[in-house]
Amino acid sequence: MSKFDLSTLNPPQRAAAEHTEGPLLVLAGAGSGKTRVITFRIGHLLLDRKVRADNILAVTFTNKAAGEMKERVRDLVGRAKCKGMVISTFHSLGVKILRRDIERLGYKKNFGIYTTSDQLGLIRQAMREVNADGKKHDAEGILWRISGWKNALIPPERALPRYEDPDELLACDVYPIYQRLLKACNAIDFDDIIMLTVGLLQGHPEVLEHWQERFRYIMVDEYQDTNASQYLFISLLAKKYRNLCVVGDDDQSIYGWRGADVGNILDFEKDYPGCRVVKLEQNYRSTGTILEAANHVIRNNVKRKEKRLWTDSGEGRPIDLVTAQDDEEEASLVVERIQMERYQHNLAFSDFAILYRTNSQSRAFEEQLRFEDIPYVLVGGMQFYERKEVKDALSYLRVIDNPLDEQALLRIVNFPRRGIGDGTVLRINQWSLEQSCHLMEAFGRVGEIEGINEPTREKVLAFHRLITGATEDFRRPGDLAGRVKRLFDRLGIEEELYRTIEEPATARKKVENVEQVINSMAGYEERIPGATLSGFLEKVSLMDEDRFSGKDKKEHGRDAVTLMSLHSSKGLEFPFVFLVGFEEEILPHKKSMEEGGTIDEERRLCYVGITRARRHLTVTRCLHRKKYGKLLERQPSRFLEEIPERLLQFHEGGAKKAATEEEQEAMAQDFFARMRAKLG
Ligand SMILES: Nc1ncnc2c1ncn2[C@@H]1O[C@H](COP(=O)(O)OP(=O)(O)OP(=O)(O)O)[C@@H](O)[C@H]1O
Ligand SMILES: [Mg+2]
């Protein structure tokens, strides 16, 4: 029996789920069931309208959101009915389309996907080619600018400096070289995924036709955060059948800083004349108190579509405002409260989330959770697959899969150390440029290169044999993890880590991380029949958006507290939410105050945070924070004043934990008086 039942939706939700032909816009506030409408709409298409599963496409922003949606749909209609349906992120969808036809753009099918550190390697190389001073210009800034052009679908030949600035001018020069270098490595970067896909669809009508025919019913969640390239991508796919349903909330547009354009959702009615518009006003997620606080905060943004949002779920508990002496106390108070609530209400750790504005805030909470032996999942931060030892190990697999991947090749040529020094690599590289051959080929032809002594040549050839042998070995299907394990053993990666890292505990951690790569490969093989090395590497590169958990994969799916940034929390919900660091310069972030004009986006971020909570919200702030060993005084966030006082309950750290009602009132009065004085 399937659980699918449209009568569990309210009337406007149901109308949206049943409107399957022609464009549809669902513009509604947080927790009103937009994502639920998408899952039911898919259910309705499959079960009632008998649409083929492979004609359905749903796009979300993160792997986590896509994963959850898949699960919900499977739960509704049963796994068997879902075969061939695509629920994915923009990036996974782009890669799927590129894998089929990228050869038309002059890349090979087995292209690699470069993430930040590889990209920076190429940017620096391109900067050297134009003789730019690596010390004067910052490669990350250049990359950021190029990324901006790509997101606006501006190719190198059309990129012009937007203002007089040395970095901007340099970025213009570097952009075409960077693209050329990427292509030479048969690699694309994250922004290319969308830009090249759009180029492919625009330039090759038969490819476009193929995907238009395939995806006759398209749904996009969180549409307010699409940028120009994603917008065009979806418009192209939907152009033929026009069965496009987009859902979103302009109040939750939080990626303006990365080129997202809230105009895409606000102009939907203009782009698709005659489209159906559905508004949802009942919130099913949060208590009345939480919702009221959220409504009061977001109301301060001037440019927005006015929305009413109500709930019949009752008032619920007041919002706790906890003031801590410093960041350490903030963390310990939060963890203490988690333990208390969990004990008192018999809850699971996974009922709790700690949300912060910047990833660096997570450290204190992680330490405290570890100290108390509480399992947690960290989303974001230093990405597992970006760690040096993991990257080095993975680079072997990347080279085996795509021998043109020079960034990966350069990482492993002398790791583990085998006596091939930088001078030799430089010489071989130079020769390969003169001969216009690939670096890998040059390694094999080292005998022809002058200025390299015989013993070194032997080492280079041994390395070349090792790689070509492994490439041959990995052609056979099956037992990937086993073969990788044997390869790593043969390379002596573990010994190398113990040899080169002084601190044994650090070395052990790194060895475990490398083992973790093999474990996750084994897991991948179990899940995916006919798993390939390329498939695994692709999955790893696309993991970027969601990042990885602190204690690695084992913690996934286990009962654990979630730690994540406000940005990654979009679309999710938790019974108990701790919104920490509610201070000026954190939320709103310092950057937004300096650059001006984005306080509204910070407020939307705050709105997103508050509306993640179902049963209870705790907001915390510090009086002081340690920075460079000094204690700095902190001011409460301006958004705090926007939450009506009557919704808050005040708590202070230190000795004064349980304040009486009068004390609380006095604290509240004092707090607001101080704040008004400060904000003038
Ligand atoms: N008609 C309904 N009956 C019962 N529960 C509902 C109904 N509609 C939505 N919900 C529940 O309300 C919660 C919020 O729904 P959902 O996540 O779809 O909202 P959303 O509008 O997508 O929120 P966000 O803006 O945060 O993405 C979910 O737990 C969902 O199951
Ligand atoms: Mg949603």
Does 551 count as an annotated binding residue? no
Q: Is the pLDDT of residue 554 over 50?
A: no
Residue among 124, 113, 261 nearest 191 (CA): 113
Is the model more confident about 629 or about 195? Answer: 195
Instruction: Tell which of 158, 185, 212 closes a domain.
Output: 185
Domain shared by 395 and 513, yes or no: yes
- 341 within ligand 1 shell (Cβ under 6 A): no
Domain-located, residue 86: yes
User: Quick one: pLDDT at residue 627?
Assistant: 76
Q: Is the pLDDT of residue 556 over 60?
A: no
Q: Collapsing DSSP states into helix, strand and coil, what is residue 286?
A: coil
Q: Is the pLDDT of residue 663 over 70?
A: no
- 31 within ligand 1 shell (Cβ under 6 A): yes
**Burial call 442-479: b when 16+ CB within 10 Å, e when fewer:** bbbbbeebeebeeebeebbeebbebbeebbeebeeeee
Task: Tell me which residue has its CA closest to atom 5 in ligand 1.
Answer: 284
Domain shared by 513 and 482, yes or no: yes
User: Quick one: pLDDT at residue 2?
Assistant: 64
Distance from Cα 287 to the centre of ligand 1, integer Å: 13
- 14 within ligand 1 shell (Cβ under 6 A): no
Question: Which ligand 1 atom lies nearest to the CA of residue 222?
Answer: 27
Per-range mean pLDDT, top range of 92-101, 374-383, 474-483, 628-637: 92-101
Domain shared by 418 and 528, yes or no: yes
User: Quick one: pLDDT at residue 481?
Assistant: 92
- 285 within ligand 1 shell (Cβ under 6 A): yes
Strand partners, 9: none
Domain-located, residue 540: yes
Task: Tell me which residue has its CA closest to atom 30 in ligand 1.
Answer: 33
Domain-located, residue 87: yes
Domain-located, residue 668: no
Do the beta carbons of residue 168 and residue 175 sit within 8 Å? no
Task: Tell me which residue has its CA closest to atom 16 in ligand 1.
Answer: 33
ipTM value, please give it.
0.99
Question: Which ligand 1 atom lies nearest to the CA of residue 13?
Answer: 1
**Tokens 């991380």 -> residue:** 513
- 254 within ligand 1 shell (Cβ under 6 A): no
Is the model more confident about 352 or about 1? Answer: 352
- 248 within ligand 1 shell (Cβ under 6 A): no
Strand partners, 89: 60
User: Quick one: pLDDT at residue 618?
Assistant: 98
Distance from Cα 60 to the centre of ligand 2, integer Å: 9
Question: Which ligand 1 atom lies nearest to the CA of residue 28?
Answer: 21
Does 470 count as an annotated binding residue? no
Q: Which CATH number goes with the domain that contains 600?
A: 3.40.50.300
Q: Which CATH number goes with the domain that contains 147?
A: 1.10.10
Domain-located, residue 230: yes
Task: Tell me which residue has its CA closest to atom 12 in ligand 1.
Answer: 284
Domain shared by 19 and 67, yes or no: yes
**Tokens 């649409």 -> residue:** 51
User: Quick one: pLDDT at residue 425?
Assistant: 92
Say how many C-beta atoms besides its own lie within 10 A of residue 290's C-beta.
30
User: Quick one: pLDDT at residue 675?
Assistant: 67
Distance from Cα 392 to the centre of ligand 2, integer Å: 37
- 253 within ligand 1 shell (Cβ under 6 A): no
| Model pLDDT for residues 432-472, shown as the tens digit of each residue | 989 999 999 999 999 999 989 999 999 999 999 999 999 99
Instruction: Tell which of 233, 264, 282 closes a domain.
Output: 282
- Give the closest ligand to the alpha carbon of residue 608: 1
- 137 within ligand 1 shell (Cβ under 6 A): no
DSSP string, 121-168: HHHHHHHHHTT--TTTS-HHHHHHHHHHHHHTT--GGG---SSS-HHH
Domain shared by 396 and 540, yes or no: yes
| Model pLDDT for residues 75-112, shown as the tens digit of each residue | 999 999 999 999 999 999 999 999 999 999 999 999 99
Q: Is the pLDDT of residue 39 over 90?
A: yes
Q: Is the pLDDT of residue 42 over 80?
A: yes
Tell me which residues are annotated as active site.
34-35, 221-222, 252, 612
Does 678 count as an annotated binding residue? no
User: Quick one: pLDDT at residue 547?
Assistant: 39
Distance from Cα 572 to the centre of ligand 1, integer Å: 10
| Vertex 586 angle, CA 608 and 604, to 5° | 25
Domain shared by 470 and 389, yes or no: yes
**pTM metric for this prediction:** 0.85
| Model pLDDT for residues 113-152, shown as the tens digit of each residue | 998 888 999 999 999 998 887 777 889 989 999 999 999 9
User: Quick one: pLDDT at residue 350?
Assistant: 95
Q: For a substitution probing ligand 1, which of 7, 13, 35, 279 has the most ligand atoms within 8 Å of its CB?
A: 35
Q: How far is CA 63 from CA 70, 536, 547, in A?
A: 10, 15, 9
- 33 within ligand 1 shell (Cβ under 6 A): yes
User: Quick one: pLDDT at residue 624?
Assistant: 93
| Model pLDDT for residues 391-413, shown as the tens digit of each residue | 999 999 999 999 999 999 999 99
Domain-located, residue 671: no
Domain-located, residue 192: no
Q: Is the pLDDT of residue 241 over 50?
A: yes
User: Quick one: pLDDT at residue 103?
Assistant: 96
Instruction: Tell which of 520, 545, 570 closes a domain.
Output: 545
DSSP single-letter state for residue 420: -
Distance from Cα 236 to the centre of ligand 2, integer Å: 24
Distance from Cα 221 to the centre of ligand 2, integer Å: 7
- Give the closest ligand to the alpha carbon of residue 8: 1
In this structure, what are the phi and psi dihedrals at residue 666, rounded to the nearest 5 degrees? -65, -40
| Model pLDDT for residues 585-594, shown as the tens digit of each residue | 999 998 887 6
Q: For a substitution probing ligand 1, which of 61, 284, 567 has the most ligand atoms within 8 Å of its CB?
A: 284
User: Quick one: pLDDT at residue 551?
Assistant: 35
Q: Is the pLDDT of residue 548 over 60?
A: no
Distance CA 101, CA 446 (A): 35
Domain shared by 77 and 120, yes or no: no
| Domains of the chain: total | 4
User: Quick one: pLDDT at residue 306?
Assistant: 87
Residue among 287, 362, 254, 279 nearest 608 (CA): 254
pLDDT band at 41 (very low <50, low <70, confident <90, very high): very high
User: Quick one: pLDDT at residue 480?
Assistant: 92
Domain shared by 53 and 156, yes or no: no
- 10 within ligand 1 shell (Cβ under 6 A): yes
Q: Token pair of 20, please?
A: 């399957």
Please report, rounded to a whole number, the percentage of residues in the chain having pLDDT higher than 70: 93
List the domain range (segments joined by +) for residue 162: 112-185
Domain shared by 252 and 328, yes or no: no
